[in-house]
Copies of this chain bind each other. A is one copy, B any other.
């Protein structure tokens, strides 16, 4: 029974990592599509989002089954509940990738990236992909130092987000209202993505170090 249980918890972790990998691919494709007005790539992201949703649902069902059948307590219980929350955040990150892809498709064949903001959004997109990759590694390895890398990248993204508004609100901004709307929404999506990653990283760190379990030694999430 104990062995079966640990197998199930490993299964939960494996599935979380798989979903994080799918989300990483989605955000990589979405930001590339947004940068290059590649409508086919955007369509791929939009089509693939249902797969992320389905995987997240399956993970939730597995977590509920573990709760029902194996009735974990203490740290094991926290792992399962944390997995439910992380899965919700990953699913939402997939939605945001889809929103960026939809913005690209909506403006096609025009460029969705407003003039004068291409390098800013390219940098934000690269940082978002980096954040997704590090988050996947964090879920896979439980190496808590990776959480710092996510927080740092999030700070950089927040600065770029502020830059977008400075530019849009400056006297030199020549964009029409459509460009202003696109810049506002796209910047918000790029920023939200990293916020979710930080929130997941916090949950993983809390699970490993939190006061509630202060009497347990740190163990990998498996």
Q: Who on chain B is nearest to A181 by CB?
A: B184
Binary per-residue interface labels of chain A (65-77) against chain B in the complex, 1 for a CB within 8 Å, 0 otherwise = 0011001011001
- Chain A interface residue count, CB cutoff 8 Å, equals 26
A139 at the interface (CB under 8 A from B): no
Alpha-carbon separation in the docked complex, A68 to B213 (Å): 13
Task: Kindly identify which residue among B64, B77, B85, B173 contacts A68, using a CB–CB cutoff of 8 Å.
Answer: B77
How far does the Cβ of A190 sit from chain B's closest Cβ, in whole Å? 14
B67 touches A74 (CB 8 A): no
Could you say which residues of chain B place their CB within 8 Å of the CB of A212? 61
Within 8 A of B (CB), among A171-218: 173, 175, 177-178, 180-181, 184-185, 188, 212
B180 touches A173 (CB 8 A): no
Alpha-carbon separation in the docked complex, A33 to B178 (Å): 27
User: How many protomers of this protein does the assembly include?
Assistant: 2
Could you say which residues of chain B place their CB within 8 Å of the CB of A127? none
A169 at the interface (CB under 8 A from B): yes
Residue from A84, A88, A173, A184 whose CB has the most chain B CB atoms within 10 Å: A184
A168 touches B181 (CB 8 A): yes
Could you say which residues of chain B place their CB within 8 Å of the CB of A78? 64
Alpha-carbon separation in the docked complex, A61 to B77 (Å): 12
A108 at the interface (CB under 8 A from B): no
Could you say which residues of chain B place their CB within 8 Å of the CB of A67? 67, 77, 81
8 shortest interchain CB distances as A-B pairs: A180-B180, A71-B71, A184-B184, A68-B73, A177-B180, A181-B184, A168-B177, A68-B77
What are 9 of the A-B contact pairs (CB < 8 Å)? A68-B73, A68-B74, A81-B84, A84-B85, A85-B88, A169-B178, A173-B177, A184-B184, A188-B188
